[in-house]
Amino acid sequence: MAKITTTGDLREMLCSAINSVANGTMDIAKAREMTKLAGQVNESFYSEVKVAKTKIELGKEADAIGLLAIK
């Protein structure tokens, strides 16, 4: 599998997993774990967008997506 670097890549990987489960080439337990991990990545995207939106609403410059400091 190619490296996942964009949200589109993530969606493509998930759709591929769905198809693999449907045609019997991927174990349902593996697909379930992939879905959980992808959900965590998605929550991270959502949180970062919320922070950026809040900064913009406060008249501050938002960090580029993927560069939000967590310190």
- Give the start-to-end residue ranges of the domains of the chain: 8-43
User: What is the tens place of the pLDDT at every residue in 59-68?
Assistant: 999 999 888 8
Say if residue 1's pLDDT is above 70.
no
pLDDT band at 57 (very low <50, low <70, confident <90, very high): very high
User: What is the tens place of the pLDDT at every residue in 3-28?
Assistant: 888 888 888 989 999 999 999 999 99
Say if residue 2's pLDDT is above 80.
no
Its pTM stands at: 0.71
CA distances from 50 to 44, 46, 56, 65 (A): 10, 6, 10, 11
